[in-house]
Chains A and B, each alone.
Chain A
Amino acid sequence: MRPFAYERATDVRSAVATLSERPDAVYLGGGTNLVDLMRLGVVSPEMLVDVTRVVDATIEESAGGGLLIGAGVRNGDLTADPLVRGRYPVLAQAVLSGASGQIRNMATVGGNLLQRTRCSYFQDTSKPCNKRRPGSGCPAREGDHRNLAILGHSSSCVATHPSDMAVALAALGAVVHVEGRHGPRTVPMPGLHRLPGDEPDRDTVLEPGDLITAVELPELPFATRSRYRKVRDRASFAFAVVSVAAALDVADGVVRDCRIALGGVAPVPWRAELAESALRGAAATAAEFGRAADIELAQARPLRDNGFKVPLARNVLVGVLTDLAEAR
């Protein structure tokens, strides 16, 4: 690991000011991904600004009837919170299905959103990777990509976004509060993460110096009927092969409203907007769920070895929606 300076931020504004001036500095939250990437040599900052003591770490009800979650809230505390568990079970389940108990106790909400892909090539500095070293190439396209993207990828990058939490937040339409060089602003989800295009090194729309300070969940009464289902290669402690976050509002057998996002299939948490519009007003039946899934997945462009994710995502989506429709 390259030597670096460590500084503990005294307040959010000064932290942002420091990073705005120093492009070689990065924020340190829980460190679970950053420290690992530094050890791998994937990132080599010259300065860490520890923001864990200045970024809000509380969860409170927001003015709009939703929840305001401080970006410094540890993932473990997020899943323990009664308001989150009661009103947005999909979020609690998503976070609980990510990583391990130990890592959830360290990782922060802000850091979780900014996780980097776990694509093998990205993590191996002895090999090319456009996300790590722009212009060097993408060996995953012809190499091992069984667990990479089927949606939203580009010729320069086929990586997936690893976060489970982000998938639930994308489904719920969370709003990310950011403190930047020019003051505070909000970024809606989806919208924080960006598709790779020909700039795969930029995972998000954040600018240098930007610090995530909170995540706001909108009021969404029917989210009490929501669920996260994660398909993975082992029963626990593994990244998603495919995941589905969904909330469903059904009355008299008809879908009034829904929120759906997919994980493990795209470079971003994938909000399934086409499926959502196809379902609004449709009968809450497995057939309609399947039709909606097909409409969404018609955009899929699977690679040589990951075509199985298309029917897998369809099955899981139909299964989750069916369970939600049947739940009382």
Chain B
Amino acid sequence: MTTVDMRYTGSALDRVEGLEKVTGRARYAFENFPADLVYAVPVQAAIARGEIRAVDVDAVLEHPGVIAAIWYGNAPRLVPSDNADLAVFQSRRVAYRGQYIAVVVAETYEEAKEAARLLRVEYAAEDHDVRLRADHPNMYRPEKVNPNYPTDTEHGDPDTALTVAPVLVDATYSTPAEHNNPMEPHATVAEWDGDALTLYDSTQGASGVRDTVAPLFGVPPANVRVISPHVGGGFGSKGGPSPYVIIAALAARHVGRPVKLAVTRQQMFAVTGYRTPTIQRVRLGANADGRLTAIVHDAFEQSSTITEFAEQTTTPTRIMYAAPHRRTTHRLVRLDVPTPSWMRAPGECPGMFALESAMDELAIACQIDPVELRIRNEPDADPESGLPFSSRNLVACLREGARRFGWADRDPAPGVRRRDRLLIGTGVAASTYPVYRRPSQATAQAHRDGRFTVRIAAADIGTGARTVLTQIAADTLRTSPDQVLVEIGDSALPAASLAGGSMGTASWGTAVVRACEALVEGLDRRDGDLPAAGMESSADTTEEIGAQRRLSRHAFGAQFAEVGVDTDTGETRVLRLLGVFAAGRIINPKTARSQFIGGMTMGLSMALFEESIMDLEFGDYLNRDLAQYHVAACADVRDIEALWVEEDDPHLNPMGTKGIGEIGIVGTAAAVANAVHHATGVRIRDLPIRLDKLMR
């Protein structure tokens, strides 16, 4: 495999769009103003299950400025698809409380909002069921789990192995529903010109939105253009089009004018996805020396009645530790709840909270240092597939982290370190995330003034994609970053995979390298003599990625936490967090550090604060704003550092990279919970670690 000659890759280039962002010039989706635009405000169902009997459209049409009110009764029919969530206003059925059931369009935002508030809807409500429990009679085995993993795996005879194991950990952990809550709420500006649709959308993948939206309206994908140069975060929630995009397009077509629609923060708790709550039972059998003989990890999750989303909660357990006998399972129940979806490291994140908490419990049971316990169970090949790892440096991360953190003289006794009113403790957990890569296309163009333009429908949702692609292109083109303009965030550009699964740099970078290589080859052939229009080359990586050798490819890491727990109040504060990661080659140490730290910060937030509370009586997530759904604030984040170990893996991609967007959140919550146990002697198995769980 050809690799890039590194000159700018590996350097700490400032974000190329930095100045635009700090001056307020960077334009996000809702900040586009086509002429003659109107505002759309969607209406949410006030029941969790049942039917819409009637909507009083006529009454709101009499309000000032109101242009239209659209619901099932008067909505145009969409072309049926297999995504039931996107079939907006196509049925009387209400599948969950907060589902979009109507939209009001008016001349101004205030007029639309007031009319939406006043819209009278008559329902026939039915009893709802919104409570996840492991013994729910409707639990079933989905055919696969996200994105395409086997639902269950089994090797050896785990049941017998657990029975005879000298040391047994058998514990049930739970994680609550959590909402992505990117700072920019989802928004779209939709404009039709005949049968052509332009969407200024806040999305993690312009190509994907185009390909999903076009068929719903019966137009070819070429008729739809999705523009999203800047995206205010997504964390998975902007991975595919949510219902609001369809509503905006439908409303714009219905009223014949461009429509602006922004999901409100409160609405986001129902209509833009969330992390499923999980209940997880982990059983570990081990010898007295801590060597695992059996690992069994069973997960129970929820999805909505209209869409099956089965999160891959136990998949990290399939690759983490050696053990001859093992089983992983996923069971799902369909409830009258909003459809869960991707949230930063779906699967790995909650799954590793359970596994890495259980490993801590095993370390205590065996009286072995938890760092040493993990090293002792290091496999020499993928423990389930048997495939070699392309590279695996978990042990190096654990050792380097332990050294930097000052782990060596740790007294394992819980509940004995006091500082004023605080009990102090430290904890460790491992991190992992798979290495994905998807086919993408790119073009590279040389201009006569020596500058280059690289085009790919990639997305920069804050990851630094625009910057690292600039670095990668500069090196491949043997020029400097200031000579390269990378155009992204537009479906009119060469099609690309979405910004998700930590695969952006790997997928897009491969296409950019190949397009740039082809251009350099062409330029070399012409000896630098360029036609007036410049010269362009393109690449499509479908074949290259399809031919990739079968290996077990994963990034690894180790996270260390120090916490202080107030003995009067149970308040837990994370005093220190250190993450050490092995994630292939790091293209930009500045933005990479931000990605790792950002993931760890969200992990801290998950550990201590985040919880979407299901209101059993009404069937919706109750605490749906940022005063009630707490995410970490500045004061919560004291001392976080992220480092990485050198990792030269030739089996990845031309850049030698593994993804770094998600691994930072994996394991953080377990490291914090393990530190809380070390501080207090109290084992918190259900997140978040709220003060009332530690009050005595």
Instruction: Provide the residues of chain B in CB contact with A155, threshold 8 Å.
Output: none
- Check A3/B114 contact, CB under 8 A, given A127-B618, A234-B608, A237-B635: yes
Interface segment among B237-245, B361-369, B626-634: the answer is B626-634
B interface with A by C-beta (< 8 Å): 46, 110, 113-114, 117, 421, 568-571, 573, 608-609, 613, 615-618, 622-623, 627-628, 630, 632-636, 690-692, 695-696
The answer for the CA separation of A315 and B569 in the assembled complex, in Å, is: 7
Interface segment among A56-64, A140-148, A268-276: the answer is A140-148
Residues B569 and A143 in contact, CB atoms below 8 Å apart: no
- List 18 other contacts, CB 8 Å, given A120-B622, A139-B617: A1-B114, A41-B117, A118-B628, A120-B623, A143-B615, A143-B618, A144-B613, A233-B609, A234-B632, A235-B635, A238-B627, A308-B691, A311-B695, A311-B696, A312-B569, A312-B692, A312-B695, A316-B568
- Check A1/B110 contact, CB under 8 A, given A139-B618, A233-B609, A235-B636: yes
Residues A236 and B622 in contact, CB atoms below 8 Å apart: no
A104 to nearest B CB, angstroms?
A: 15
Q: Does more than half of chain A's interface fall in helix, strand or loop, or is it mixed? A: loop
Instruction: Provide the residues of chain B in CB contact with A238, threshold 8 Å.
Output: 627, 630, 633
Residues B692 and A316 in contact, CB atoms below 8 Å apart: no
Residues B617 and A236 in contact, CB atoms below 8 Å apart: no
Instruction: Provide the residues of chain B in CB contact with A31, threshold 8 Å.
Output: none
Residues A236 and B633 in contact, CB atoms below 8 Å apart: yes
CB of A231 within 8 Å of the partner chain: yes
Residues A236 and B628 in contact, CB atoms below 8 Å apart: no
The answer for the CA separation of A146 and B628 in the assembled complex, in Å, is: 12
Residues B695 and A308 in contact, CB atoms below 8 Å apart: yes
Residues A234 and B691 in contact, CB atoms below 8 Å apart: no
The answer for the CA separation of A133 and B627 in the assembled complex, in Å, is: 23
The 3 A-B pairs of least Cβ separation, nearest first, read: A236-B635, A235-B635, A315-B568
A158 to nearest B CB, angstroms?
A: 15
The answer for the CA separation of A312 and B46 in the assembled complex, in Å, is: 36
Q: Does more than half of chain B's interface fall in helix, strand or loop, or is it mixed? A: loop
Among A214-245, those with CB < 8 Å from B are: 231-239, 241-242
The answer for the CA separation of A186 and B570 in the assembled complex, in Å, is: 40
The answer for the CA separation of A239 and B630 in the assembled complex, in Å, is: 11
B265 to nearest A CB, angstroms?
A: 11
> What residue in chain B is nearest A100 (Cβ atoms)?
B633
The answer for the CA separation of A318 and B571 in the assembled complex, in Å, is: 16
B145 to nearest A CB, angstroms?
A: 31
Instruction: Provide the residues of chain A in CB contact with B627, threshold 8 Å.
Output: 118, 238-239
Instruction: Provide the residues of chain A in CB contact with B421, threshold 8 Å.
Output: 319
B115 to nearest A CB, angstroms?
A: 11
Residues B633 and A312 in contact, CB atoms below 8 Å apart: no
Residues B569 and A316 in contact, CB atoms below 8 Å apart: yes
B625 to nearest A CB, angstroms?
A: 8
Instruction: Provide the residues of chain A in CB contact with B113, threshold 8 Å.
Output: 1
- Check A237/B568 contact, CB under 8 A, given A120-B622, A126-B46, A319-B421: no
CB of A328 within 8 Å of the partner chain: no
Instruction: Provide the residues of chain B in CB contact with A232, threshold 8 Å.
Output: 571
Q: CB-CB contacts of A1-22 with B at 8 A, as 1s and 0s?
A: 1110000000000000000000
The answer for the CA separation of A318 and B568 in the assembled complex, in Å, is: 9
- Check A233/B690 contact, CB under 8 A, given A1-B110, A311-B695, A315-B568: yes
The answer for the CA separation of A139 and B692 in the assembled complex, in Å, is: 22
A141 to nearest B CB, angstroms?
A: 10
Instruction: Provide the residues of chain B in CB contact with A316, threshold 8 Å.
Output: 568-569
Residues B117 and A234 in contact, CB atoms below 8 Å apart: no
Instruction: Provide the residues of chain A in CB contact with B691, threshold 8 Å.
Output: 231, 233, 241, 308, 312
B119 to nearest A CB, angstroms?
A: 12
Q: CB-CB contacts of A289-328 with B at 8 A, as 1s and 0s?
A: 0000000000000000000100110011011000000000
Residues B114 and A319 in contact, CB atoms below 8 Å apart: no
Interface centre among B613, B636, B692 (most CB of A within 10 A): B692
Instruction: Provide the residues of chain B in CB contact with A241, threshold 8 Å.
Output: 691
Cβ 8 A contact of A143, one of B608, B617, B632, B634: B617
The answer for the CA separation of A208 and B690 in the assembled complex, in Å, is: 41
